[in-house]
Amino acid sequence: MLIDKVIALVMDVVELYLPFHRVVLPMLERRAFARGIESIDKVRLINHSLRSGADIILVNEAREDSEFRALLEAITLGHGTITTFHANDYEDAITRLKVKGFTEAERFLEEAVVVEVALTKENVKDESGIVRVVHRRFVRSIRNADRHMEVLTRDYGKDTIDRQLHYRIEFLTKALELNPTPEQLASLLYAFYKDPESVLATKPSLEAIESLSLPRLELPSEVLSLDNEVLGLEKGLLRRVDDW
């Protein structure tokens, strides 16, 4: 099960947290801002994830060619990786990666399952006459999935894979009808992973989600302590400046 995997979250800002996974390694990028406080970039964090034995390395957004090289190394070593990259389409993504100096762009994308998500903007007028900009995202294409599905089918059997796909399609269909908050969706996903048939047997509701006997949703203590650590360093720096 996915919740049993060791997942490393490599981020430049705190955007993601997985409250119900058993082992989560939150790793935040840090900029050098004072003498003796060196920077820690995503490449170092990805390499540290490899040494930490992470099954899956999730990078909130990869931008530099060095980050993609580190992810490519993780893939070839057998680790699962997930990240996002902004471009107009698949071909432009290859071009942008090459412009950044990542010459192995085609190889990297051929090794990965690429989900191309498009974004549209619409001006929607509500009942009060106020016009709001609504962002809508939809999946434009999924590339290279067939090869990975063949491996999964070989390892686990066609019946198992078909059943798992059916579970997920039905779950996503019901979840979209609810329009839950991120916290409610996390609770519903946790219940789904534990017992998918029971969750799908009844129509989920927001009331049912709230009644689930689950741990409280809280950020990991490692993440919460980072703000205090940085504030403490900044206050110490300001005191030294005042002394000068």
Structure confidence by residue, pLDDT tens digits, 165-195: 888 888 888 877 777 776 777 777 777 877 7
Q: Does domain 2-143+214-243 have CATH number 3.40.50.300?
A: yes
Q: What percent of the chain has pLDDT over 70?
A: 78
Checking if the pLDDT of 99 tops 70, the result is yes
Phi and psi dihedrals of 29, rounded to 5?
Answer: -65, 145
Structure confidence by residue, pLDDT tens digits, 127-145: 888 888 888 888 889 998 8
Structure confidence by residue, pLDDT tens digits, 32-41: 776 777 888 8
What does the domain layout of the chain look like in residue ranges? Answer: 2-143+214-243, 145-213
Q: Which residue has the higher pLDDT, 124 or 2?
A: 124
Confidence bin at 112 (pLDDT 50/70/90): confident
Checking if the pLDDT of 239 tops 80, the result is no
Q: Which residues pair with 37 in a beta bridge?
A: 34
Phi and psi dihedrals of 187, rounded to 5?
Answer: -65, -40
Cα separation values, 94 from 57, 68, 98, Å: 22, 12, 6
pTM of the model: 0.69
CA 166/CA 152 separation, integer angstroms: 15
pLDDT of residue 46: 93
Structure confidence by residue, pLDDT tens digits, 48-63: 999 888 899 999 888 8
pLDDT of residue 221: 56
